[in-house]
Amino acid sequence: MQISTILDYIDNGHMALPEFQRGYVWSRDQVRGLFGSLYRRHPVGGLLVWATQSEEAIHRGDQQLAPGVVKLLLDGQQRMTSLYGVIRGAAPQFFDGNEQAFTGLHFHIGNEEFQFYQPIAMRDDPLWIDVSKLFANGNEGLGKLVAEIATRPEHAALVGEYAGRLNRLLGIRDIGLHIEEITGPDMTLDVVVDIFNKVNSGGTKLSKGDLALAKICASWPDARAQMKQLLDGWKAHRYDFSLDWLLRSVNTVLTGEAKFLHLHDKPAAEVSDALKRAGKHIDTSLNYIAGRLGLDHDRVLFGRGAISVMSRYLDMRGGQLDAAERDKLLFWYAQAAMWGRFSGSVESFIDVDLEALEGPDGGLDNLIEVLRLWRGGLRVEPAHFDSWSVGARFYPILYMLTRVRGARDWGSGLELKAELLGKMSSLEVHHIFPKAQLYKANVGRAKVNALANFCFLTKGTNLEISDTRPEVYFPEIEKRHPGALASQWVPMDEDLWRIENFDRFLEARRKLLADEANRVFKELLNGDERWLAAMGPATPSVPGSSAGHVLGGVSSDEEEEAMYELNDWLDAQGLSRGQVSFELVDPDTGEQRALLDLAWPEGVQAELTERVALLLGESAELLAVANAADYRCFVSVEQFKEYVRREILGAANGSISFVEQLEAAQ
C-alpha cells in the first residue's frame, strides 16, 4: 500500500493506534534517518496491523473510526507518525509525544542531506527546502521552487538535476509498504499483545503493567489519560513516578494484592473509583512524608514500594489518620525504606506486607512486627552511617534529620527549610572536610565520601566555604552563629576539627547522628521503644569488599546529576528510568551487597529486556559482583546510550525490517 494511501486511511479513520500502544518516542536523528532511507529507496520495513471491527477497536485519541473493519497499528507506529507529521505538517490525532521531533525538517537539494532547521546555517542558502511545505504545495510548489532556483546564475546549470531530486523527494508519498494483517475471532487482546511483543524486538515492548492497563482501557478508554494527569501533577511537585508504579497502588487499593493479574477482570467503574482513591491516598502519603519527615522531593524519596502499602492502609482507614497513627505509619515507612525492604522482589514483599494488614490480628503493629522479624532489629547504630555515596540508604535519613531537627545553614544561621527563596538558597550536599584537602592527605575515596562527612547547606554557603579546612572555618561559624555547628551534629571538640583527626571526627559524628535518628524514631512511636530495643547488624557484610565498605555508589553531586540527565534522556525515548544508587541485596536478609550507580533491575524495557547497569569510575571488583548478579555493565554514559540506540530503539537508521523482526522473535 502506498504511503499516501496509508496517510489517507489515518485521516478517514480506517487506520488507528490501539490503546495499549505507548506514545511517540522517536528522536530527530531517527526521523532524519527514516527520510534519508526513503529518499534513497532503501527498505524501511513493513507494517503489522490488527484488523478488527471498529465498534470493538479501543484506540488512542478522540478520532471517530470508520464503520466496518479498521486496521490498528501494532508495528510501525513510530515510522507512520513521523511520515504523517512531516508530510501532513501536523501530528495525527492519536499522537502522544513531542512534535518537535518531526517539526522543521529540511532537505538540501545540492548535497541531498536532511537536517532540522538551523536559522544561521540555512538562512542564506536557498537550496535548503522545508520538506513539509514542499509536500503541502505538491507539484505546484515544486514548479515555483524550480523557477526561483533557475533565476540564480550560480545554480541555473543544475536546475534540471535539482528538479529531479525534488521529484524524488515528493515521490516518497508513492512508495509502497507491505502490510501484514492479523485477524480472526481468536485474536483476543492477550494474543495480540503477545504477538506485538514478539515482533516488536526493535521497539518498546509491553510490560505486565502495560497489559493490565490495556485491558482496563478496553472498557475505560480514558484510563491512561487520567493516570498521566496524576503523574504530571506529581512531577510538577518534584516527584517522578512511573505509570506502572501508580497502577501498582491502584491495584493494592482495589484488590489488596500486588500482582497486576488481579486487575484484569475488574469493571471499569471499580478501577476508576480505585484510581481516585489511590491518587488521594498517595497525595496524603507524600504530604505525611514531606511534612513530618522532610523528604520533599524525588531524590530523597526512598522506599517507593512502601507507598502502595500505605495507600492500602489509608483506604482501609477511610483516608485520614490521627497524629499517633500517622506517626506510627511513618515509622514503618522510614524503617522499611532504610533497611531496603523493597530493594529486592517488590511484588513479593508488598504482598507479605498487605497480608500483615488484613484479618483480626492485622494492622500497623503487625506490619511493624513483620518488618522487625525480617530485619532482626530496627535500632540505628553508629556504624550504619559508615556507608558512603550520596545514594546510600542513610543519605535520605541524613536529609530527614536536617529537615525535621532544625539544622541551620552555616552562612546565614537560618533553619534549612524547603521554602528558602533565591537561586543560591537551594540545598546542596557539603563535604565538611573538603574533598581536595582530604585527597591531599591521601585519604581514600570511601572515607572522603562517608555519610558522616556530609551535611546540607545552601548553595551560596557551600561555594563560600569551598575547600577551606574545618579548623579554619568552624571557629568563624561558631562566632557568627552560635549553635549552628551543633545543629548539624558536628562534635564540638576542636581537636577533632583537624584533618589529621578525621577518622575520630567521623566516629564521633556517626554516634551523634545515630542517637538523633533513634530519638526521631522513638518520637514517631510516641515513646513506645519495644521495636527499637533489638539490635540489628552493625555493618553490611559484603564479600570481597575492603574495610567493611559496600562496593560502589555515586560519590559526588556531579555524578548524581549525570545520572538524572541520563534518566531524562531515557524519558524522551519512552523507556524506563534507571534507579540511582541501586542496591544489590541479599534477598533473605535485605543486607546490601553493593551499590550500582544507575541500574535497571527489570531492564530498560521493564520486565522484557536484560538487566543493565551504568558504573562510572568503579572498580573491577564491583564489575565482577554486578556481572555475577546477571547485570550487563556499561562504564560510560555514551557507551550506554549507544546500547540503547542500537539494541533497544532499533537499527542505526531508526527502522528494522518486518522480516528482521520476525527472525529476531523466533
562-584 pLDDT, tens digit per residue, is 888 898 888 877 788 888 778 77
Instruction: Say whether pLDDT at 542 is over 70.
Output: no
Q: What pLDDT score was predicted for residue 628?
A: 83
The answer to which of 181-185, 489-493, 512-516, 642-646 has the lowest mean pLDDT is 181-185
* Dihedral sign computed on CA atoms, order 96, 101, 103, 108: negative
Q: What pLDDT score was predicted for residue 392?
A: 65
CA distances from 283 to 40, 278, 326, 367 (A): 53, 8, 14, 21
Q: What pLDDT score was predicted for residue 107?
A: 94
Give the CA-trace dihedral at 524, 530, 536, 538, to 10 degrees: 70
Q: What pLDDT score was predicted for residue 556?
A: 67
Instruction: Say whether pLDDT at 665 is over 50.
Output: no
Cell of 442: 591521601
Mean pLDDT to the nearest integer, 94-119: 89
The structure's pTM equals 0.69
Report d(CA 250, CA 277) in Å as an integer: 8
Q: Where is 634: in which H helix or E strand?
A: strand 632-634
Cα-flanking dihedrals φ and ψ of residue 591, to 5°?
-70, 145
Indicate the pLDDT class of residue 622, thresholds 50, 70 and 90. confident
Q: Which residues contact 3 (CB under 8 A, 6 or more apart)?
A: 83, 87, 172, 173, 174, 175, 176, 177
Q: What pLDDT score was predicted for residue 419?
A: 55
Q: What pLDDT score was predicted for residue 198?
A: 64
Helix boundaries (H) for 13-130: 28-39, 77-88, 119-122
Residue-wise pLDDT for 165-223, tens only, equals: 999 999 999 999 999 888 887 777 667 766 766 665 455 555 677 777 877 877 787 88
Contact 441, 499 (CB under 8 A): yes
Report d(CA 424, CA 242) in Å as an integer: 31
Q: What pLDDT score was predicted for residue 549?
A: 55
Instruction: Say whether pLDDT at 345 is over 90.
Output: no
Mean pLDDT to the nearest integer, 297-326: 93
Mean pLDDT to the nearest integer, 318-346: 91
Mean pLDDT to the nearest integer, 92-120: 89
Q: Which residue has the higher pLDDT, 594 or 540?
A: 594
Residues paired with residue 632 on neighbouring β-strands, in sequence order = 612
Domain locations in the chain? 3-182, 204-375, 383-524, 551-648
The answer to which of 76-90, 124-138, 441-455, 600-614 has the lowest mean pLDDT is 600-614
Q: What pLDDT score was predicted for residue 587?
A: 59
* Dihedral sign computed on CA atoms, order 399, 401, 407, 410: negative
Q: b/e string for 19-45 if b means 16 or more Cβ within 10 A?
A: bbbbbbbbbbebbbbbbbbbbeeeebb
With cell 478517514, the residue in question is 12
Q: What pLDDT score was predicted for residue 205?
A: 56
Instruction: Say whether pLDDT at 391 is over 60.
Output: no
Mean pLDDT to the nearest integer, 229-239: 92
Q: Which residues contact 515 (CB under 8 A, 6 or more apart)?
A: none
Q: What pLDDT score was predicted for residue 148?
A: 81
What 8-state DSSP symbol labels residue 118? -
Q: What pLDDT score was predicted for residue 46?
A: 87
Q: What pLDDT score was predicted for residue 532?
A: 86
Instruction: Say whether pLDDT at 531 is over 90.
Output: no
Mean pLDDT to the nearest integer, 135-157: 80
Q: What pLDDT score was predicted for residue 498?
A: 97
Q: What is the secondary structure of 212-233 as a DSSP string?
A: HHHHHHHH-TTHHHHHHHHHHH
The answer to which of 176-180, 241-245, 252-256, 399-403 has the lowest mean pLDDT is 241-245
Q: Which residue has the higher pLDDT, 34 or 242?
A: 34
Checking 324-328 for CB contacts under 8 A at 24+ apart, the result is 324/526, 325/364, 326/288, 326/292, 327/292, 327/523, 327/524, 327/525, 327/526, 328/364, 328/368, 328/524, 328/525, 328/526
Closest CA to 592 of 421, 357, 341, 403: 341
Residue-wise pLDDT for 104-113, tens only, equals: 999 999 899 9
Q: Average pLDDT, whole number, for the chain?
A: 84
The answer to which of 114-123, 157-166, 655-664 has the lowest mean pLDDT is 655-664
The answer to which of 50-54, 484-488, 635-639 has the lowest mean pLDDT is 50-54
Q: What pLDDT score was predicted for residue 423?
A: 45
Report d(CA 553, CA 391) in Å as an integer: 7
Instruction: Say whether pLDDT at 488 is over 80.
Output: yes
Environment class of 460 (CB within 10 Å of its CB; exposed 0-12, middle 13-18, buried 19+): middle
What is the share, in percent, of the chain residues with pLDDT greater than 70?
87
Which range has highest mean pLDDT (64-68, 257-261, 396-400, 493-497)? 493-497
Mean pLDDT to the nearest integer, 403-417: 92
Report d(CA 143, CA 114) in Å as an integer: 21
Contact 383, 538 (CB under 8 A): yes
Instruction: Say whether pLDDT at 505 is over 50.
Output: yes
Instruction: Say whether pLDDT at 390 is over 60.
Output: no
Q: What pLDDT score was predicted for residue 662?
A: 34
Q: What pLDDT score was predicted for residue 424?
A: 46
Q: What is the secondary structure of 176-207 as a DSSP string?
A: B--EEEE-STT--HHHHHHHHHHH-TTS----
Cell of 364: 500497623
Closest CA to 661 of 116, 307, 191, 178: 178
Indicate the pLDDT class of residue 446, thresholds 50, 70 and 90. confident
Residues paired with residue 458 on neighbouring β-strands, in sequence order = 427
Indicate the pLDDT class of residue 456, thresholds 50, 70 and 90. very high
CA angle 202, 613, 611 (to 5 degrees): 55
With cell 472498557, the residue in question is 219
Contact 66, 176 (CB under 8 A): no
Mean pLDDT to the nearest integer, 598-619: 81
Instruction: Say whether pLDDT at 77 is over 70.
Output: yes
Q: What pLDDT score was predicted for residue 88?
A: 94
Instruction: Say whether pLDDT at 555 is over 70.
Output: no
Instruction: Say whether pLDDT at 32 is over 80.
Output: yes
Cα-flanking dihedrals φ and ψ of residue 49, to 5°?
-130, 155
Contact 613, 596 (CB under 8 A): yes
With cell 479498521, the residue in question is 70
Q: Which residue has the higher pLDDT, 342 or 215?
A: 342
Q: Which residues contact 207 (CB under 8 A, 6 or more apart)?
A: 244, 602, 605, 606, 607, 608
Q: What pLDDT score was predicted for residue 653?
A: 35
Instruction: Say whether pLDDT at 543 is over 50.
Output: no
3-state helix, strand, coil in the chain (%, to 5): 50, 10, 35
Q: What pLDDT score was predicted for residue 196?
A: 67
Contact 197, 38 (CB under 8 A): no
